[in-house]
Amino acid sequence: MLTEDRHLTYGELADGVDEFARTLGTGRRLVLLETLNDIATLVRYLGALAGGHVVLPVAAGGDHRAIVETYRPNVIVDGAGVRTHSPETHHLHDDLALLLSTSGSTGSPKLVRLSHANLMSNAAAIAEYLGIRATDRAATTLPMSYCYGLSVIHSHLLAGAALILTDLSVTDEQFWTLFRRHRGSTFAGVPYTFELLERIDFPSMDLPHLRYLTQAGGRMPAERVRRFAEQGQRRGWDLFVMYGATEATARMAYLPPDFALTRPEAIGVPIPGGSFSLEPCRDWPGEEIGELLYHGPNVMMGYAQCAADLATGRTVDVLRTGDLARQTTDGLYEIVGRKSRFVKMYGLRIDLHQVETRLRDDGVAALCVDHGDGLAVVAAGGHDATTVRRSAAAAAGIPTEGVHAVAVTELPMLTSGKPDYQTARKLARDAEPARAPRDHTDLRALFGEVLHLDPADIGEEASFVDLGGNSLSYVAMSVRLERMLGQLPAHWPQMPIRDLQQLPPPRKPRRRFWDTTMETGVALRAAAIVLIVVSHAELFEVWGGAHILLGVAGYNFGRFCLTPLPRRRRIRHLRTTIAWIAVPSMVWVALALVITDDYHLTNLVLADKFLGPSDSMTSGRLWFVEVLVWILVALAVLFWLPAADRIERRYPFAVAAVFLAVGLAVRFGPGSDLDAKFTVLAFWFFALGWAAAKASSTVARVAVTLALFVGLIGYFDHTEREVLVAVGLVLLIWLPTLRCPAPVAVVAGVLAEASLYTYLTHYQVYPLFGEHRVIGVLASLLAGVAVTAAVTALRRRLRPTSGRAITAPEPAHARR
């Protein structure tokens, strides 16, 4: 066992355990143990178990009066030492070994009864699926009174591994100094731990002996799971996401690391020796969804509510988790909802009824509901909301920041006289804007404006991707968000609005010209549309912009269409993207057919390059739109198939690479010398952008870059054009952002947002100015911007109001 100043061998640990066991005597006793992550506590805990006593661990410094009064422990072990508390003889069942609280730190006397067999079976299962080695060294980042923290200790001791005992936080530099000095190979965290890790730039840390991280204690957002899995893939360690409960000793399921990248919303598979079943639920007709039941040797003996229950044997054979779940075709389980009234926060399981009871005892009549990943309290009786927040936070044992309080005249009730929790939840949601961290971040209004949604229907757990954002709305959103929030994280499209609100405020303007970052995809869209217009207007010829745009379109397809959302929502988003491109194009062609002779009826269905006429000098102008739309239609049909969707989720880069290989095969195949470079042969540009979006490692990016150079060899028979396209797409592959002057970023954002309408309209605009080509180019760009603004205003006026909150997808609702 390793600490800041001690190195205790297993032999020395065994001696200390034997000595403490003798201190407690031979008679079997109930021992309440205040815990710290130190050697003294570990020796006392193991000594009590070795002596055959029943241990009740509690956090040091907490209020344990209710538990002490209810169970009357014979011995209390705390900072003052070992003292006899009650001489009462307890009838303790022979199998009983450990008692753990079910309700975090709310002080509830309801305890979970665990046997020696529970502890051994769960420790062995965890050691097996984690592959714990005798050479591993695990840091104790969680309290020993918490089942997750204890499971780390049990499993590593069983495997003969070492423990780095510390109460330091992961935000403390001393923790990492200790971790490196003792060659730490693993540590465990709840979702809040991983949030802290992101704040301290964990990916940049030098941790040469780190083998894996484990996460449990509540649902972690799928995108955060994916980000840490990607970091681990780059740095050589694994991420195990786990699902469990105190009633299962600790763990019931784990997500194999390979799935953390492709199925981050799933809880995974049962642990060795355990199994799941689903009990049908009447509220989910027609769905293969039911309450998740767990079977295994680690299922608790049962609950204890008073001292007499400690004599009871096993009363539970199957654990009813209270979670609604389904098993997907790949064998993984997903959580889709909850049946009971608990929330998981900061690694604690908060009993909402218990919090209500504590508030009532304090004279506050209130209803408690889950609120996103937090707790909301609706209180009646003229109480101050701030005071209620503090009381509720104290009752739940969590920071005040995790509680949202609303003051009302009277509590909402049903006609039956029962609490109306649905209305309470709505009251909390409606009052949410008042607690936004900063006045300038009215993000739901901004999301509603850009995505043409009613802000009242947007939930704070929803992200840009959840709300149907795509490559066309991405530019407008990113530009406006940067003005509001400052520089954005690379993964902002997947971040919930709630997390975006928590970003640090924008820096004060500095007197530096190069003080703005711009996403490379945005810069390329702006540059490409300008090159397209100036080349067509014959101001000067720099060809290749449309092929760069096709690569950017594939890149955005990988980012915004192939997301972690459920298959049906994926296809719905893709269908919306296709409509945003196809419908305006068809409308414009219809208008042009009336006032010009530029197009044919085949253009109206975006099929001129396929149906002809082949001798027209003008009707092939829209080749880029035609190719893009039909590529997206074909892929939408493909990924509508469950098998294809499943394979892509599991192997995202490999699937993109296969399509890139197919595109290159077509590009070099028979007929590649025909004038078809603007139709099917151009698909490989789209596939290359798609592969670039899914390339999460240096090796993958190198492979995509090599494919680009191979594909460009002789493609245009024009070296300058090939170089231009190569430079643009290499930037897309390797540089997510570019530094530029602030005015350039603003102009580029406007031009990129208007690129589609500029492409559609410029053919009819620049000829109006004859030989005044500069004016014609400027007029074409301005016309595209004007049409974009007009369409945006029209969509805003026609924006539907659903009356239903749009939130993050339901899968992965709760991972414990």
pLDDT tens digits along 540-556? 888 899 999 999 999 99
- Nearest 5°: CA angle at 481, between 479 and 483? 75
pLDDT tens digits along 530-586? 999 999 999 988 889 999 999 999 999 988 888 766 788 788 888 988 998 999 999
Mean predicted lDDT score pLDDT of the chain: 84
User: pLDDT value at position 222?
Assistant: 86
User: pLDDT value at position 356?
Assistant: 85
Under the banding of pLDDT at 50, 70 and 90, the label for residue 780 is very high
Top-confidence range, 57-66, 324-333, 606-615, 654-663: 654-663
User: pLDDT value at position 357?
Assistant: 79
Residue type, 316: V
**Structural domains in the chain plus CATH codes:** 10-337 (3.40.50.12780), 342-435 (3.30.300.30), 520-736+757-765 (no CATH)
**Cβ distance 316 to 356 under 8 Å?**
no
| Token pair 């995505």 in the structure block, residue | 451
Under the banding of pLDDT at 50, 70 and 90, the label for residue 814 is very low
What span, in angstroms and rounded, lies between the C-alpha atoms of 569 and 695? 23
User: pLDDT value at position 223?
Assistant: 86
**What secondary structure letter does DSSP report for 770?**
T
Please give the span between the terminal C-alpha atoms of the chain, in angstroms, as a whole number.
Answer: 28
Rounded alpha-carbon distances, angstroms, from residue 694 to 214, 266, 421, 809? 25, 20, 42, 22
Percent of the chain past pLDDT 70, that is, above it, reads 87
User: pLDDT value at position 385?
Assistant: 85
Under the banding of pLDDT at 50, 70 and 90, the label for residue 793 is confident
Mean pLDDT, residues 448-457? 75
Mean pLDDT, residues 133-148? 92
Contacts of 52 (CB under 8 A, 6+ apart): 28
User: pLDDT value at position 271?
Assistant: 95
**What secondary structure letter does DSSP report for 271?**
P
User: pLDDT value at position 434?
Assistant: 41
Q: Is 70 exposed, middle or buried (0-12, 13-18, 19+ CB in 10 A)?
A: middle
Mean pLDDT, residues 83-95? 87
User: pLDDT value at position 312?
Assistant: 93
Higher pLDDT residue, 473 or 799?
A: 473
pLDDT higher than 70, residue 807? no
Higher pLDDT residue, 593 or 816?
A: 593
Rounded alpha-carbon distances, angstroms, from residue 314 to 113, 117, 272, 294, 506? 9, 12, 22, 16, 58
Under the banding of pLDDT at 50, 70 and 90, the label for residue 372 is low
User: pLDDT value at position 118?
Assistant: 95
- Phi, then psi, of 337 in degrees rounded to 5: 175, -175
Top-confidence range, 75-84, 621-630, 684-693: 684-693
**Cβ distance 175 to 139 under 8 Å?**
yes
Percent of the chain past pLDDT 90, that is, above it, reads 45
Mean pLDDT, residues 439-462? 71
User: pLDDT value at position 440?
Assistant: 35
**Pairing mode of beta strands 374-380, 302-304:** unpaired
pLDDT tens digits along 340-359? 667 777 666 677 877 887 88
**What secondary structure letter does DSSP report for 562?**
S
On the question of a cis peptide bond just before residue 280, with omega within 30 degrees of 0, the verdict is: no
pLDDT higher than 90, residue 94? yes
**Cβ distance 532 to 784 under 8 Å?**
no
Residue of 387, 400, 268, 426 whose CA lies nearest to 346: 400
User: pLDDT value at position 219?
Assistant: 78
